[in-house]
Amino acid sequence: MCFHSLREQLGALHALAKFKNDDWARDQALRMIAALDRLLLPEDQWRPQVAVWDPTRTRRYQEEGCTEVFWGWSNSLQGSEGRLIEPLLWIYQLTGDELALEMADRFARFHLEFSTRPSGDFYGGENLAGHNHSYMGTLRGLLYYGQVLGKPEYVDAVAKTYRKAIPRIVKHSGFTTHDLHRDHGGDTASAADVAQMALWLGIHHGHSECLDDVQRLVLSRLLPSQITETPPLKPKQADRTPSTMVLPDKHFAFVDYPEDVEQLIIGALGGIYGRAHGGKLCVTDVTSTVLSVLVDVYQHIVVENDQEVRINFHLDYENDLLRLNCVRKDKAHLSIDAKSNKPLLVRVPGWAPEDSVQLSVDGQTVPLVWEGKYLRVPKQSSAARVELIYDLPIEKVREKAGGSEFEITWRGDEIVGICPNTDFFPFFPTSPDR
């Protein structure tokens, strides 16, 4: 029994129920929530026990004759229920189940106080501690809760935390650790969580400056973490004796790698990696988190409403309304082939020098009409070719990670070189001048 993975279990059931119309998965999700409700400790014990669950009441604990709750149960605050807020709300939105909403509400109210501070500081003060992905998952849950239920105090708390605490945890390059109290052991899932929060803050809550962070994290960490090659991998043997026994009967499960694992992991995103900027590994919950965030980013590259079409990111994209193509050399060239005459709003990155921005329609330069961070493209009577050009500043930045100092070369919001580099499946090319 691993409470840490409740998020993944409930999320999988939700996906089957929503996208596959699977009645079994829907029923199992509701049964799971009812079972979890029976395991909840009284709320006044959550802080003293540093847990919300009572594992001694689970069938597994009783059938195995356990007398102790072992570390493998992962029964800690944030590590289970904080990151569970989001999928509980998914189930509520899909089924209308009041118990799912009630449980999400209890966890959200608790973590608004426990996991955020009015100042936006990290909840642990100066001493970072805890599982990074769970902390970020808790913040995601609080933001989503405020978003779904129209509770601005939750959105504001996460926005303040985003501005003040998160830059201490996730570096500009996107490097962040699996454990908050360490400076090594990279974790792409937490960087993806930050991109997700930035996307919601930018799209739904008026913090359009956060969209720069989304594209930077996608270009500098999430996409570079994709596995395109792998060393030879041998199936793991299940006949060795584990060093830690989780259950009194000494049962401990090991799963053999499938024979074709080398082919299966090609294309996987993210993972837990040993080097600050290299050494890619496929880790299932991390890979699924990164993939789901990239899907959400992709779905918001272009957003349409009744009045206009809004382009939020400069990434290749095509739908029935338009086709985007972004080429980066000495300058950034964003080409927009509009397929309708609907007005366009195009976001310009906040770091792009404003005096370098040029906009043309069908080859003719047009005046820049700014609406916040966006440029309004004059309405055309028919489909048009729109082109946006701006400079890509080159900047060398020193950043410490994993006990080393790196010189990172940025071209706009993309890393184009790093020194020193690793020769073990690096994320980035070595700086050309080294």
- On the 0-12 / 13-18 / 19+ scale of CB atoms within 10 A, 367 is exposed
Stretch 14-22: mean pLDDT? 98
**How much is the pLDDT for 236?**
58
More confident residue, 155 or 321: 155
Whether residue 258 is preceded by a cis peptide bond, meaning omega within 30 degrees of 0, is no
Distance CA 370, CA 200 (A): 22
- Residues 286 and 376 grouped into a single domain: yes
**How much is the pLDDT for 433?**
61
**How much is the pLDDT for 182?**
86
Q: pLDDT tens across 235-286, in order?
A: 655 555 544 444 444 444 445 566 777 888 899 998 888 889 998 888 888 8
Contacts 24+ apart (CB under 8 A), 114-119: 114/47, 114/77, 115/78, 115/82, 115/139, 115/142, 116/142, 116/157, 116/158, 116/160, 116/161, 117/161, 118/157, 118/160, 119/160, 119/164
> Could you tell me which residues come within 8 angstroms of residue 272 by beta carbon, excluding any fewer than 6 positions away?
178, 185, 186, 187, 188, 281, 283, 286
**How much is the pLDDT for 378?**
81
Q: Is the pLDDT assigned to residue 97 strictly greater than 70?
A: yes
Is 202 within a domain? no
Of 187, 264, 178, give the one whose Cα is nearest residue 221.
Answer: 187
- Residues 140 and 219 grouped into a single domain: no
- Banded pLDDT at 234 (limits 50, 70, 90): low
- CA 160, distance to chain mean position in Å, is 18
- Residues 332 and 394 grouped into a single domain: yes
Q: Is the pLDDT assigned to residue 207 strictly greater than 70?
A: yes
- C-alpha dihedral over 209, 212, 217, 220, to 10 degrees? -150
- Residues 62 and 163 grouped into a single domain: yes
Of 381, 378, 418, 413, give the one whose Cα is nearest residue 398.
Answer: 418
Is 262 within a domain? yes
What backbone phi and psi angles, to 5 degrees, belong to 219?
Answer: -80, -35
State the chain's mean pLDDT as an integer: 90
Task: State the residue range of the domain holding 363.
Answer: 207-230+258-434
- Residues 264 and 149 grouped into a single domain: no
Q: Helix 132-149 to helix 188-204 angle, to the nearest 10 degrees?
A: 20
Is 44 within a domain? yes
Q: pLDDT tens across 409-421, in order?
A: 999 999 999 999 9
Q: Is the pLDDT assigned to residue 140 strictly greater than 90?
A: yes
Q: Is the pLDDT assigned to residue 408 strictly greater than 70?
A: yes
Is 124 within a domain? yes
- Residues 155 and 224 grouped into a single domain: no
At 324, list the tokens: 């985007």
Measure Cα distances from 101 to 98, 239, 289 in Å: 5, 44, 23
Percentage, residues of the chain above pLDDT 90: 71
Q: pLDDT tens across 287-323, in order?
A: 889 999 999 999 999 999 988 999 999 999 999 989 9
Percentage, residues of the chain above pLDDT 70: 93
- Residues 304 and 159 grouped into a single domain: no
**How much is the pLDDT for 255?**
52
Is 269 within a domain? yes
- On the 0-12 / 13-18 / 19+ scale of CB atoms within 10 A, 230 is middle
Number of domains in the chain: 2
Distance CA 96, CA 375 (A): 40
Is 184 within a domain? no
Q: pLDDT tens across 373-405, in order?
A: 999 998 766 678 999 999 999 999 999 998 899
Distance CA 349, CA 320 (A): 25
408 residue type, one letter: I
Is 394 within a domain? yes
Is 215 within a domain? yes
Distance CA 225, CA 277 (A): 9
**How much is the pLDDT for 242?**
46
Predicted TM-score (pTM) of the model is 0.93
**How much is the pLDDT for 114?**
95
**How much is the pLDDT for 245?**
45
- Residues 45 and 125 grouped into a single domain: yes
Say which range, 60-64, 94-98, 162-166, has the weakest mean pLDDT: 60-64
